C-alpha cells in the first residue's frame, strides 16, 4: 500500500475538534432526528467539516495574505468582503458579464465562478494592483483619454481584460480586439471607445 | 449556497476513491459549470474533490495522435502549436466557445461534462426530468426555441452546449477514464447519451470515474477545416446551431469528410451518412447541399425551433464551403 496521503484536507485540526464537539447540536437542528440516530457519527464528521474555515495563502497585488475562508467563498467575495478590495465588481455573479475579471498567475479569469480555496499559493492581481503608486497603468490612462466608460461599473473588468488581451497578443486588429474582449459586457455600450483605448495602448508599444 | 467539505487530491487514486465511495461527492476542475449550478442550488454536493493539482494537464504526441490531459485548459489547447498543426478544427471549435476568461478556467474534462441543459433546468420553479427525475419536462410544452431536433425523447429535449465536443466527435477522439474497477477507453461518440427514459444521465461515465485524457488520432484533416457557429450575438453565446466540418481534398475531389453538429441534440451529433455522401464527389455547392439534405433526414422540430430545420442545413453548407476554401 502506498503510504503517501492521496488527498489533502486543508481543514485545520484544532478547529475541527472544537467543531466536532459543538456541531452535534447543529446537526440535530438541521436534520430530522432519525437520520441523526442512524448515522450520527458520520454525519457529525461531515457537518463539522463543512462548517470549518480552511487556511488559504494568497498573494494579492504583491502582498502576502494568510487567511481563513469557508470553502464556498468565491474568489470574488473574498477579494471584496474579506480583503476590502472593492474595485473588482460583481455584475452577474454567474460568469456572464466579466465585471469580476482578475488575473490569477497572470491569466484573466472570472473570479465569481471560482472558489477562493482553489487558488492556494497563487498570485492574484486586481484593478487596485495595476497602478504604480500615483502613476496610472497605460491601459488606465488610455481608458481615461478615450472615454472608455460611462457609468464605470464594468470598467475594472474591462481594463483587467484589456491588459490581458494585449499581453496575449490578441489586440492585432479591431476585429480581434472585439472578439477577445467579448467576455466583458458593457451595459452603457462604451465599446467603440474601449476598442480605441486598447488600440492606442497596443500601437503606443508601452509595456503593459 | 450549501456548505460542503473541500479536499484537494494529490493522487488520482485518492480522488477516485473519495468520489466513488460517496454519492454526495464531486470532482471540481475549472468550476465554471459546477460553481454556477451550485450557486443556483441546482447541484448540492456535500464534498468537493479538487483535482487541479493532479498531473493531468499535458498536451503531448502519442503514437499516431495527440493526447490532451483532462486538466489542460481550453485556452491552452486552443493555442497549442501541436493542436494547431495536427487538429486545427479543435482549436477553432474551442475558440468559438464561452469567453477568453472562461476558456482560461475551463478544462478539457470539465467541458465535456458540463451539463446537457436548458433554461428550465435552471428554473427551480419549473418541472424538469433532468434536474428532478419524474417531474416532467418544462420545455416540451414551453418555450423550446433552443432545443433539440435530433434524438430527443418525451422526457427531455435539451441540447449539449459544448463546442469542443462537436470537434472531438468529428475527429474520432477517445476518452480515457480511470475508476475503482480500473481504466477504460470510451469512443467519443459513445461518451454522451441520448435522453431516452433517463435524462438525468448526460453521459456513460460511472460514479467516481475520472477522465484522465482525450486521445485524437492523426488524420488528413489539417487544412480544409471549419467550425461554423451561429449564435444570437457575434460572440460569447451558446450555439443555436453549429457545424464542425473537415475535408480531405484531392484537387477538387473529396477523398474523406467529417461532419458533426452542435445545438441540435442531447449529445454532439455526428453526421456519418452525410460524410459518406460526400466521398468521391466534387467539392461544390451542389455536393454540400446534398450532404446537408442527408444530414437533416429524421430531424423533428418542436413549437419554437422549426427555424433549426432551415438553419441547420445552411450552417452545414457554409461550414463545408469555408472548409473547402481554407
Ligand atoms: C457564461 C458562460 C458561457 C458559456 N459559453 C459556452 C460556449 O459558448 N460554448 C461552450 O462549449 N461552453 C460554454 N460554456 C461552458 C463552459 O465551457 C464549461 O462550463 C466548462 O467547459 C466546464 O469546464 P470546467 O473545467 O470549468 O468544469 P467544472 O465546472 O469544474 O466541472 C464540470 C463537471 O465535470 C466534472 N469533472 C470535471 N473534470 C472532470 C474529470 N477530469 N473527470 C471526471 N469529472 C470531471 C465535475 O465534477 C462537474 O460535474 C459557458 C459557460 C458560461 C458560464
Ligand atoms: S428539456 Fe431536459 S433539461 Fe430542459 S426542462 Fe425538459 S427535461 Fe429539463
Ligand atoms: S460577476 Fe463574474 S462574470 Fe459577471
Ligand atoms: S460603462 Fe457602464 S457598464 Fe460599461
| Domain edges within chain A | 50-129, 131-208
**B249 beta partners:** B254
Residue A7: its pLDDT value, please? 76
Contact of B105 with chain A, judged by CB distance below 8 Å, is answered with yes
- Other CB atoms closer than 10 Å to residue A155's CB: what's the count? 24
Nearest-angstrom CA–CA distance, B295 and B259: 9
Distance (angstroms) between ligand 4 centre and the Cα of B69 equals 38
- The 10s digit of each residue's pLDDT in B129-170 is 999 999 999 999 999 999 999 999 999 999 999 999 999 999
pLDDT at B297 over 90: yes
The pTM of the full predicted model, rounded to 2 decimals, is 0.93
Fold adopted by A50-129: Ubiquitin-like (UB roll) (3.10.20)
Fold adopted by B224-325: Enolase-like; domain 1 (3.30.390)
Cβ-based neighbours of B113, under 8 Å, separated by 6 or more: B33, B202, B203, B205, B211
CB A50 within 8 A of CB A43: no
- The 10s digit of each residue's pLDDT in B207-251 is 999 999 999 999 999 999 999 999 999 999 999 999 999 999 999
pLDDT tier at A12, thresholds 50, 70, 90? low
The ipTM value here is: 0.96
- The 10s digit of each residue's pLDDT in A16-50 is 444 444 444 344 334 333 333 333 334 444 445 65
pLDDT tier at A194, thresholds 50, 70, 90? very high
Q: Residues lining ligand 4, judged by CB closer than 6 Å?
A: A 149-155, 186-188, 190
Residue A38: its pLDDT value, please? 35
3-state helix, strand, coil in chain B (%, to 5): 30, 25, 45
3-state DSSP call for residue B3? Answer: coil
Question: Tell me, what DSSP letter sits at residue A74?
Answer: B
Residue B129: its pLDDT value, please? 98
- The 10s digit of each residue's pLDDT in B54-108 is 999 999 999 899 999 999 999 999 999 999 999 999 999 999 999 999 999 999 9
Q: Residue B308: left if φ>0, alpha if ψ -120 to 50, beta else—which one?
A: alpha
Residue B40: its pLDDT value, please? 97
pLDDT at B260 over 70: yes
Measured from the CA of A158, which atom of ligand 4 is nearest?
Answer: 4
- What's the CATH class of domain B5-50? alpha beta
A182, B99: Cβ pair inside 8 Å?
yes
B4, A8: Cβ pair inside 8 Å?
no
Contact of B13 with chain A, judged by CB distance below 8 Å, is answered with yes
Cα distance from B226 to chain A (closest Cα, Å)?
17
Average pLDDT for A55-80 = 97
Residue A52: its pLDDT value, please? 83
| DSSP H or E run through B269 | strand B269-270
Residue A6: its pLDDT value, please? 73
Give ∠ CA B166-B60-A120 in degrees, rounded to 5: 90
- The 10s digit of each residue's pLDDT in B1-43 is 999 999 999 999 999 999 999 999 999 999 999 999 999 999 9
Three-state SS string across A97-136, please? CCCCEEEECCEEEEHHHCEHHHHCCCEEECHHHCCECCEC
Cα distance from B41 to chain A (closest Cα, Å)?
13
pLDDT tier at A205, thresholds 50, 70, 90? confident
pLDDT at A200 over 90: yes
Burial class (CB in 10 A: 0-12, 13-18, 19+), B268: buried
Residue A29: its pLDDT value, please? 39
Average pLDDT for A3-15 = 60
Average pLDDT for B179-196 = 97
The CA distances from residue A102 to A183, B65, B107, B155, in Å, are: 12, 36, 19, 41
pLDDT at A73 over 70: yes
Contact of B28 with chain A, judged by CB distance below 8 Å, is answered with yes
pLDDT tier at A174, thresholds 50, 70, 90? very high
3-state DSSP call for residue A149? Answer: coil
Nearest-angstrom CA–CA distance, A22 and B48: 23
CB B261 within 8 A of CB B271: yes
Q: What is the CA radius of gyration of chain A?
A: 22
Residue A50: its pLDDT value, please? 59
Kindly report the CATH number that applies to the domain delimited by A131-208: 1.10.150.120
Residue A18: its pLDDT value, please? 47
The ligand that comes nearest to the alpha carbon of residue B266 is: 2
Burial class (CB in 10 A: 0-12, 13-18, 19+), A98: buried
Nearest-angstrom CA–CA distance, B214 and B110: 12
B14, A117: Cβ pair inside 8 Å?
no
Residue B265: its pLDDT value, please? 98
Q: Where in chain B is the domain with CATH 3.30.390.50?
A: 224-325
Average pLDDT for A85-90 = 98
Nearest-angstrom CA–CA distance, A81 and A85: 8
| Nearest by Cα to B11 from B178, B158, B200, B167 | B178
Nearest-angstrom CA–CA distance, A110 and A100: 6
pLDDT at B186 over 70: yes
Query: What value does the mean pLDDT of chain B take?
Result: 98
b/e per residue A37-55 (b: at least 16 CB within 10 A): eeeeeebbbbbbbbbbbbe
Question: Tell me, what DSSP letter sits at residue B301?
Answer: -
pLDDT at A3 over 60: no
Amino acid at each position: 500500500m502506498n503510504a503517501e496521503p492521496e488527498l489533502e484536507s486543508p481543514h485545520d485540526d484544532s478547529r475541527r475538534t472544537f467543531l466536532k464537539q459543538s456541531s452535534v447540536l447543529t446537526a440535530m437542528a438541521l436534520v430530522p432526528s432519525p437520520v441523526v440516530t442512524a448515522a450520527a457519527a458520520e454525519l457529525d464528521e461531515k457537518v463539522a467539516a463543512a462548517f470549518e474555515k480552511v487556511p488559504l495563502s494568497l498573494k494579492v497585488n504583491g502582498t502576502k495574505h494568510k487567511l481563513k475562508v469557508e470553502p464556498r467563498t468565491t474568489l470574488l467575495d473574498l477579494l471584496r468582503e474579506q480583503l476590502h478590495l472593492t474595485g473588482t465588481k460583481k455584475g452577474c455573479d454567474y460568469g456572464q458579464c466579466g465585471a469580476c475579471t482578475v488575473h490569477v498567475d497572470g491569466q484573466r479569469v472570472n473570479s465569481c465562478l471560482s472558489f477562493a480555496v482553489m487558488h492556494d499559493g497563487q498570485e492574484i492581481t486586481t484593478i487596485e494592483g495595476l497602478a504604480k503608486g500615483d502613476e496610472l497603468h497605460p491601459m488606465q490612462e488610455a481608458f481615461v483619454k478615450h472615454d472608455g466608460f460611462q457609468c464605470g461599473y464594468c470598467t475594472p473588468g474591462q481594463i483587467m481584460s484589456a491588459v490581458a488581451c494585449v499581453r496575449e497578443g490578441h489586440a492585432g486588429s479591431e476585429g480581434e480586439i472585439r472578439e477577445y474582449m467579448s467576455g466583458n459586457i458593457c451595459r452603457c455600450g462604451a465599446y467603440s471607445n474601449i476598442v480605441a483605448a486598447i488600440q492606442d495602448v497596443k500601437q503606443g508599444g508601452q509595456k503593459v | 449556497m450549501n456548505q460542503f467539505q473541500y479536499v484537494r487530491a494529490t493522487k488520482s487514486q485518492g480522488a477516485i476513491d473519495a468520489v466513488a465511495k460517496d454519492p454526495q461527492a464531486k470532482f471540481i476542475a475549472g468550476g465554471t459549470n459546477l460553481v454556477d449550478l451550485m450557486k443556483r442550488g441546482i447541484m448540492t454536493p456535500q464534498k468537493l474533490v479538487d483535482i487541479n493539482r493532479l498531473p493531468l494537464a499535458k498536451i503531448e504526441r502519442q503514437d499516431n495522435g495527440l493526447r490532451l490531459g483532462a486538466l489542460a485548459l481550453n485556452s491552452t489547447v486552443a493555442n497549442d502549436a501541436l493542436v494547431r498543426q495536427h487538429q486545427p478544427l479543435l482549436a477553432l471549435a474551442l475558440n468559438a466557445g464561452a469567453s477568453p476568461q472562461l476558456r482560461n478556467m475551463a478544462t478539457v474534462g470539465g467541458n465535456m461534462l458540463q451539463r446537457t441543459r436548458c433554461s428550465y433546468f435552471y428554473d427551480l420553479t419549473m418541472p424538469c426530468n433532468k434536474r428532478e427525475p419524474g417531474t416532467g419536462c418544462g420545455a416540451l410544452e414551453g418555450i423550446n426555441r433552443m432545443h433539440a431536433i435530433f434524438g430527443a425523447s418525451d422526457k427531455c429535449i435539451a441540447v449539449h452546449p459544448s463546442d469542443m465536443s462537436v470537434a472531438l466527435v468529428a475527429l474520432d477522439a477517445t476518452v480515457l477514464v480511470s475508476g475503482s474497477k480500473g481504466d477504460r477507453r470510451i469512443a467519443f461518440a459513445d461518451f454522451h447519451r441520448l435522453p431516452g427514459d433517463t435524462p438525468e444521465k448526460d453521459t456513460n461515465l460511472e460514479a467516481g470515474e475520472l477522465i484522465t485524457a482525450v486521445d485524437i488520432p492523426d488524420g488528413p484533416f489539417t487544412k480544409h477545416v471549419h467550425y461554423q457557429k451561429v449564435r444570437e450575438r457575434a460572440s460569447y453565446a451558446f450555439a443555436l446551431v453549429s457545424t464542425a466540418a473537415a475535408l480531405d481534398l484531392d484537387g477538387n475531389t473529396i477523398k474523406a469528410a467529417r461532419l458533426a453538429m452542435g445545438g441540435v441534440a442531447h449529445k454532439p451529433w455526428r453526421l456519418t451518412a452525410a460524410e459518406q455522401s460526400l466521398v468521391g464527389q466534387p467539392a461544390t455547392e451542389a455536393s454540400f447541399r446534398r450532404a446537408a439534405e442527408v444530414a437533416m433526414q429524421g430531424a423533428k422540430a418542436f413549437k419554437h425551433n422549426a427555424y433549426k430545420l432551415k438553419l441547420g442545413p445552411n450552417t452545414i453548407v457554409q461550414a463545408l464551403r469555408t472548409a473547402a476554401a481554407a
